[in-house]
Amino acid sequence: MSKLRRALLVAGLLAPLAVLVTGTPGAQAADAYPSRPVKLVVPFPPGGSNDLLAREIADALAQRLKAPFVVENKGGAGGAIGIEAVAKSPADGYTILVVSNSLVTAPALNRQLRFDAVKDFTPISLVAELPTVLAVTPDVPGATLAEALAYIKANPGKLNYASAGIGAPQHLSTEYLKSATGADIVHIPLQGQGQMLTEMLGGRVQLMIGVFSTAQPYFAKGALKALATGGAKRTPAAPDLPTIAEAGVPGYGVQWWLGALAPAGTPPDIVALLNREILALGQDTAFRAKLAAAGIDWVGSGPAEFSQTLVKDLALWTKVVADAGIEAK
């Protein structure tokens, strides 16, 4: 009994003290976000478009919001380790995920994952996208995608296509093309776009869907032929190049996006603030020029739009994986 009373007494004495230390509830809410460093988690090793975009955003937001924004690379398991870490972080706005569409392609591949791409995150903005290109070697006759596809169909199982590995966007996007056109072309999984280009230039692989910017140097010299871009709309980087849909595969369209998300349950005012600040970056021509130089196109969507894209893309990639019969564990 006396123990309990003493405990109550101590608690009673400490209560006002606690209020003193932590401030009144009202004052706490008024504390301007961000009052301490914000962590931008990139689920890949340093280097690459995802990392680069996160670093540009971190620098720009740090200047605008007068608080440190720190990029943390947490690579591994195709992005799963970093994504999962953010999903399990406190939803206080101080841990943000900057990620590519591997957020939705990984679950589409039926990998055993410990996160849910839709339920575990509050989307902030689909910030940017990587323009893609469908390229073939000069050995493939024809100047248009339709002619190239006719040649591929006339030689079923004889040609190869390159990807950056099983489940990589290059792989899934080309499998989508195969399902949509009925083309029979063999997958050669490689490691990264550099190897893809090497095999293409050596003529051992005849087709690829890859990142536009790193393939571009080879188009001018005629070492490779650019036939179409993979997105729903043409890219500003090559306005004369038709989309795959325009070039004869109606309905085709893939978006290799890069977006920012917070853990589910992050206060809506913080999400709104971050979205507003990120969209403001898009108004800055110098910022957009920096991204363009790195082969990244600015998009800048609202949270609701991004949320719809997540659901739509998860369904699309799940169907692509099922249609192509890709098995991955």
Element (H, E) at 204: none
Q: How would DSSP label each residue in 30-89?
A: HSPSPSSPEEEEESS-SSSHHHHHHHHHHHHHHHHHTS-EEEEE---GGGHHHHHHHHTS
Instruction: Phi first, then psi: give them for residue 97, nearest 5 degrees.
Output: -100, 130
Where do the DSSP E strands lie in 101-164?
Answer: 121-130, 132-136, 160-163
For the CB of residue 84, give the shortest distance to another protein in the complex, in Å.
Answer: 8
23, 68, 138, 194: residue in contact with another protein (rule CB under 8 A): 194
CB of 292 to another protein, least distance (A): 15
Question: CB-wise, 72 or 147, nearer to another protein?
Answer: 72
Only one of the segments 4-12, 60-68, 132-140, 187-195 lies at the binding site for another protein (rule: CB under 8 A); that segment is 187-195
Max alpha carbon distance in the chain (Å)? 93
Taking CB under 8 A as the criterion, the residue among 47, 222, 239, 251 binding another protein is 47
Measured from the CB atom, the residue of 187 and 252 that comes closer to another protein is 187
Q: One-letter amino acid identity for 191?
A: Q
Judged by CB, which is closer to another protein: 168, or 228?
Answer: 168
- Residue carrying the six token digits 């003529």: 203
Nearest distance, CB of residue 16 and another protein, angstroms: 40
If one asks whether residue 308 binds another protein (CB under 8 A), the answer comes out as no
CA distance 139 to 283: 44
**Site stretch for another protein (CB under 8 A), options 16-24, 46-54, 58-66, 261-269:** 46-54
Out of 45, 90, 141, 268, the only residue in the binding site for another protein (CB under 8 A) is 45
For residue 299, the 8-state DSSP code is -
- Residues in region 208-267 near another protein by CB under 8 A: 214, 217-218
Q: Which of 155, 191, 283, 319 binds another protein (CB under 8 A)?
A: 191
Please tell me the count of residues contacting another protein according to CB under 8 A: 42
- Contact string 50-89 vs another protein (x = CB under 8 A): --x-------------------xxxxxxx-xx--x-----
Q: For 302-319, give one letter per residue: b (16+ CB within 10 A) or e.
A: bbeebbebbeebbebbbe
* Identity of the residue, 66 or 221, whose beta carbon is nearer to another protein in the bound complex: 221
Q: Is 197 in the site for another protein (CB under 8 A)?
A: yes
Q: Which of 142, 149, 127 is nearest to 55 (CA)?
A: 127
Instruction: Select from 125, 180, 183, 175 the least CA-distant residue to 317.
Output: 175
CA distance 94 to 57: 15
* Residue 131 interacting with another protein (CB under 8 A): no
**Tokens read off for 174:** 């080309």
Q: Which of 54, 86, 106, 109 binds another protein (CB under 8 A)?
A: 109
Give the whole-angstrom CA distance, residue 300 versus residue 128: 6
> Which parts of this chain interact with another protein (CB under 8 A)?
45-48, 52, 72-78, 80-81, 84, 109, 157, 160, 165-167, 186, 188-195, 197-198, 201-202, 204-205, 214, 217-218, 327-329
